[in-house]
Amino acid sequence: MKPNAQYQTAIEILDAYRPTHGPLSPRIKRELKDRRYAGSKDRRTIGNIVFEVMRRAPLFMELLNIKEWKVMLGRPLMIAYLTLKEGTEISSIFTGDINAPAPLSEEEIVLCQDIKEKKISSAAQYWLPSWLFKALQETCDETTLKALQEQAPFDIRCNTDIEKIQTALVNEGMTLQKTPYSPHCLRILDKINMKNHPLFEKGAIDIQEESSQILALLCEPKPDMKILDLCAGAGGKSLALASFCRTARITATDPDLKRLKIAHQRAEQQGLHNIDFIEYDHFIRDTQHINVYDLVLVDAPCSGTGTLRRHPELKVLLSPEKVKEYINRQQEILRDAQRFVAERGRLVYATCSLLATENQDQANWFLQEHSFFSLVKASTICDKVLSKTPEGTGEFLALGPSNHETDGFFTALFERV
């Protein structure tokens, strides 16, 4: 495909995209799957263009005076993107050739000039909507805000000997490195589809970002330990727990039955037989589970602001009202979760958020509302189970892209007393 045809395809994908219908990455894959004329390199280039535009969407929307996301925004967003892209002559893309974008209208030519001259807000400079920029400033310094503009790393979890896996992948010509905190994590620096790799297919590795591996390690799974993963989702944490200790007894549940089914399939693929998958509503109503579990993990639904590098669509999907809904839901889940913790058992609360309202504030709320729990210092656990304790760890563990090169992730540990 010619470059202008690639840009036109990217425009069409952006035109049709609705953030409320799901994450951007799988939507791009579905859209490109039906375009047989696009080869693998074309698909990769088109996907990168769409992501580059979406990462900067709040900036472009401010420049274009667009208040909220809607369909058919592809062309104006692409005009803004190419106008500000150094070394690009926009008229060479908008040519009107077959499969290329139509030529710029007189109004669009004027728009390009306005975009170059218009002053932008501090929030837009960081590619963030103003409300989210203000909220993130409470916990994020300038370095972290800039790091959120970068591309996220690609990590794998090794379910078997990490040294052998590293040697095998290096011998295949891959560039990779061990990460500083999880002793089971390798970071792959090449752009490779590891889901097609034989090591993934036979369950020797899984795709999991380092911060998620760290959370599973903080749970300290031990033989015969009863563990409940109350918000299991697609099973990443449950699978990690089961891999780290294959004789721990794990119960995984989640309101989303489709994701729970995926988790079950992944467990079978990796040969993990110490996880029971249970339908959420049935589990919550069954009183036989009360005060039973040595550890209850709540990887709570949240804003996902710690994953903005992977999910730039959140910048146009989130709102202050949506965050408030998450906060209320987190408290509901914590009220449920504490009932299942056995005496001297632990409750681990985690989010992939950078917002204090979902993290430290929620941990403090929980302690105030549940006096029969005490806080377990996160740094004490990190010293025992990680290769190195992340910088800044104290009562809580708060990871971020600038200080730790991970997704934004928060963990608080409580013990029933």
Structural domains in the chain, CATH included, are: 3-120 (no CATH), 154-207 (3.30.70.1170), 218-416 (3.40.50.150)
- Residue 17 has which token pair? 């995209």
Tokens 């409320």 belong to: 20
* H or E segment to which residue 163 belongs: helix 162-171
- Residue 291 has which token pair? 């005060």
Contacts of 252 (CB under 8 A, 6+ apart): 229, 232, 235, 238, 260, 263, 275, 276, 277, 278
Predicted local confidence at residue 169, as pLDDT = 97
The model's pTM = 0.94
Tokens 């489709």 belong to: 258
- Residue 157 has which token pair? 């979890």
Q: Are strands 397-399 and 409-416 parallel, antiparallel or unpaired?
A: antiparallel
Distance CA 287, CA 301 (A): 24
Q: Are strands 249-252 and 275-277 parallel, antiparallel or unpaired?
A: parallel
Predicted local confidence at residue 277, as pLDDT = 96
* H or E segment to which residue 75 belongs: helix 74-84
Q: Are 243 and 275 in contact (CB under 8 A)?
A: no
CA distances from 208 to 129, 153, 221, 306, 380 (A): 29, 11, 18, 15, 24
Range list of H helices, 270-319 = 280-285, 314-317
- Residue 351 has which token pair? 């989010």
Q: What is the CA radius of gyration of the chain?
A: 23
Distance CA 17, CA 31 (A): 10
- Residue 113 has which token pair? 């000039």
Find, among 137, 108, 96, the residue nearest to 8 by Cα: 96
Distance CA 215, CA 224 (A): 20
Distance CA 76, CA 94 (A): 12
Single-letter amino acid, residue 240: A
Q: To the nearest 10°, the Cα dihedral for 232, 236, 238, 239?
A: 150
**Positive or negative, the Cα torsion across 268, 269, 271, 277?**
negative
Single-letter amino acid, residue 26: P
Supply the DSSP string of 233-282, one letter for each residue.
TTSHHHHHHHHH-TTSEEEE--S-HHHHHHHHHHHHHTT--SEEE--HHH
Contacts of 257 (CB under 8 A, 6+ apart): 279, 280
Tokens 């690009």 belong to: 88
- For the chain, list residues with pLDDT below 70: none
Find, among 189, 200, 195, the residue nearest to 158 by Cα: 200
- Residue 289 has which token pair? 């589970």
Distance CA 392, CA 410 (A): 12
Count of all residues that appear for the chain in the document:
417
